[in-house]
Structure 1
Amino acid sequence: MTDMHETGSRIAPEIKAAPEMTAAFDEFMEAFEAFKDTNDRRLGEIEEKLTADVVTRDKMDRISRAMDEQKKVLDQLALKKARPPLGRGGGNGIEANEHKAAFEQYIRRGDEAGLRELEAKAMSAGTGSDGGYLVPPETDTEIGRRLSVVSPIRSLATVRQVSGSVLKKPFATSGMAAGWVAETAARPQTSSAQLAELSFPTMELYAMPAATQALLDDAAVDIEGWISSEVDTVFAEQEGTAFVNGDGTNKPKGFLAYTAVADSAWSWGNLGYIATGAAGAFKTTGASDTLIDTIYSLKAGHRQNANFVMNRKTQAEVRKLKDGDGRYLWQPPATAGEAASLVGFPVVEAEDMPDIAANALSIAFGDFRAGYLVVDRTGVRVLRDPYSAKPYVLFYTTKRVGGGVQNFEAIKLIKFAVS
């Protein structure tokens, strides 16, 4: 298992811990030690009396919930630290400053003249008649950066920027054939590589926050920062849900929306799953076998870049699992800002993953950078509307994003079913 532990430590993101993160991390580790002691007591009671004491079970549940809350605090602190100040880095040229000033005039007073002049110079299609103006580079970059932190699937997947409405991607499902021949033997023609064309359309995602004119007239208010903070969270939540469960109709297609088949019957266009052997649960004995089988169902090239993806409730159950030598399979982060690991691989929490239930696909494991593609159409647009909801000014903010599986052998699922 050495290679897996090396992989987990290599992939985990590195974020320098602030003092408050260090304190929160220390509390989290203390809770984990208490959790292990209580769970060991619970397992001993089950072995001795065939059932765990109610007090022990309740205590373990309380500790588990406390760990979840402390991990949430850690995640929020890491997120706060990962968010850069608005307008820092990139876009510092004269043109960017002009665009920023003109955009602020548009947001505050509806004055389009500056934006029309600048975007005409750039031969931009982003005119008022086309439905809004492009957000300045600083704001656009800020929204994209926050999404990559808030939305876990986006942070794992490959992200492509496109200028059109659809990205078409060829994929070789099989390579060309070759063979050994004698020196003077005939060389018959070999078969060619088989290509499949994958299509990833971009869908429109929108938000429409409102502000009073008095707020817009207040020069002390950071309007661009306000738009970012209003929009980025709701965009991230919608994206995160779609990347997992989206049906592909007016939204990206999530990886759980594809047909799942037993891994032994896997074929291109489907995702393979490993069954736990019990409906709505891990097997009572050898539960770790399911995880090991899932890990090694991936080819080595994908396995070294793989992550486990599950929600908090599923992770709470996984924390209780041990290997044959009594060691916990789930391990806490080595330092503040890193990811927890399961059998040596990073664990990513995605609350849109289903809870453990009969026939549920509650755990995914794979190389999501190779397996899932997010397609962003360049630019976030804002249309100012001072008329529809007086006395408020509406800001109709849109972006176009798509997504789907691009490599069906790079992601595997765990199904909580007998077979």
Structure 2
Amino acid sequence: MSSIEIKSAGAPIVDDLNRAFSTFKEANDERLAQIETRMSADVVTEEKLARIDQALDETKSRLDRLALDLARPRIGGAAPEEHGAREHKSAFNHYMRSGEAGGLKALEAKAMSGASGPDGGYLVPVPAEREILRRLAKLSPIRAIASVREISTQTLRRAYSTTGPAAGWVAETDARPQTANQQIADMTFPAMELYAMPAATQALLDDSVVDIEQWIADEVQVAFSEQEGAAFVSGDGVNKPKGFLSYTTVADTSWSWGNIGYVATGVSGAFPATNPSDVLFNLVYALRAGYRQNGKWVMGRRTQSLIRQFKTTTGDYIWAPPENANGLASLINFPIVEAEDMPDPGANSLSIAFGDFERGYIVVDRVGIRVLRDPYSAKPYVLFYTTKRVGGGVQNFEAIKLLKLGVS
């Protein structure tokens, strides 16, 4: 399907989503009216609302898949390659199909590469590596909104001012008084090894029509994105990135550097029965204005399903569907990023995050994705042990706030 066909196909899906949400609002208004007059909603109305809500999720999923297809060009459509890149691509292709590694050994020895070899695999060509990373940015929700840095060493080390820059105003000829001492945090973000092991038949590898680089990208993208998505949210930092939910959390009124602040709903496992949307507004304004301008919501599907029912005191729904195939649903006019690794609503769950994730969370990619061909472990299939090194963690503790479904 061409990009023009995909874009035109997105319009009816957006229309379907808008129609479904209009029906959802009517059913929810009916449910609220029943509660107001009878103190409880009709079972038929509740079931109808649940069906419409499920249809909304399914339509949004169709839109997400379409957006991903739209952003997935063929690797072969890249710009003309330099001679060295073409040579590497040819040698890599030969290794993947037949296991002959002589060409890659010579090339990587000439490049003085210490990151690969017979035991650790061989580096994939640069266009394939870029394509895998680009696809991950589409599939991995936190990577898509975080700051991403490439490094050539094992660890990214940064110094960050926890008190803001030391500065002051002076006239041209005035003496420069000493400003308050800066408080500097030394932060390290090590890159951990992430792997996937796609399998292929020899018949597939013998087929000259099959684009091997494209096949590798297709096979590893989902495995990598699922592992990354879970780690960036709740990883414990042991042999994996540290997720933003794994840091110490404190009530926002007691926030200090090194902790993530939260706003409590005041009800265990739920939102307040009256004006539940107020706590979401409180969360938005818990974030400083400089971060709020680029604020994004992060939550799972079940949480999003719950807040679709919320209104402001003027009766307006605070959730809105995306406006186009590449768009995001919004909540209080801030975009929603759906991350299924966020906790479902429950007692004291941290089910919603809001913040400027580009400034708050950093993803570290070590340059080089490696592939080791293994034709022995799963005969008659050929396994391709594919590894990349990635790390992550919170780099600015002011830029992310959480909503806790708890009393305090």
Normalising by structure 2, what TM-score? Answer: 0.94
Q: Which residue number in structure 2 is paired with residue 144 of structure 1? A: 133
Local SS of the residue matching 2:229: helix
1:310, CA displacement in angstroms? 0.5
Q: Which of 304-313 and 186-195 deviates more?
A: 186-195
1:92, CA displacement in angstroms? 1.9
- Structure 1, residues 35-75: CA drift from partner, whole Å, max 9, x if none? 00010000001111111111111100100001100100010
Q: Which of 386-395 and 373-382 deviates more?
A: 386-395
Moved >6 Å (runs of 4+)? 178-182, 185-188
Q: Which residue number in structure 2 is paired with residue 107 of structure 1? A: 96
Aligned positions of 1:244-263 closer than 5 A? 244-263=233-252
Q: Which amino acid aligns with 1:344?
A: N
Which of 295, 319, 330 is the equivalent residue of 2:284? 295
Aligned positions of 1:19-418 closer than 5 A? 19-90=8-79, 92-129=81-118, 131-175=120-164, 189-418=178-407
Tell me the distance in 2 between the aligned counterparts of 1:130 and 1:179. Answer: 57
Tell me the distance in 1 between the aligned counterparts of 2:5 and 2:280. Answer: 31
Q: Which of 393-402 and 82-91 deviates more?
A: 82-91
Change (3 A) 1:227 1:268: same
Tell me the distance in 2 between the aligned counterparts of 1:181 and 1:23. Answer: 60
Tell me the distance in 1 between the aligned counterparts of 2:200 and 2:33. Answer: 60
Identity of aligned residues (%): 60
Alpha carbons 2:66, 2:325 under 8 Å: kept? no
Tell me the distance in 2 between the aligned counterparts of 1:186 and 1:161. Answer: 42
Alpha carbons 2:14, 2:323 under 8 Å: kept? no
Alpha carbons 1:175, 1:192 under 8 Å: kept? no
Alpha carbons 1:119, 1:126 under 8 Å: kept? no
Tell me the distance in 1 between the aligned counterparts of 2:331 and 2:385. Answer: 42
Tell me the distance in 2 between the aligned counterparts of 1:68 and 1:212. Answer: 36
Q: Which amino acid aligns with 1:402?
A: G
Q: Which amino acid aligns with 1:41?
A: E
Q: Which amino acid aligns with 1:112?
A: A
Alpha carbons 2:370, 2:387 under 8 Å: kept? yes
Alpha carbons 1:330, 1:343 under 8 Å: kept? yes
For these two proteins, the number of residue pairs brought into alignment is 405
Local SS of the residue matching 1:391: coil
Change (3 A) 1:391 1:284: same
Q: Which amino acid aligns with 1:124?
A: S
1:329, CA displacement in angstroms? 0.6
1:180, CA displacement in angstroms? 8.8
Q: Which amino acid aligns with 1:389?
A: A
Local SS of the residue matching 1:249: coil
Structure 2 gap ranges (5+): none
Local SS of the residue matching 1:309: strand
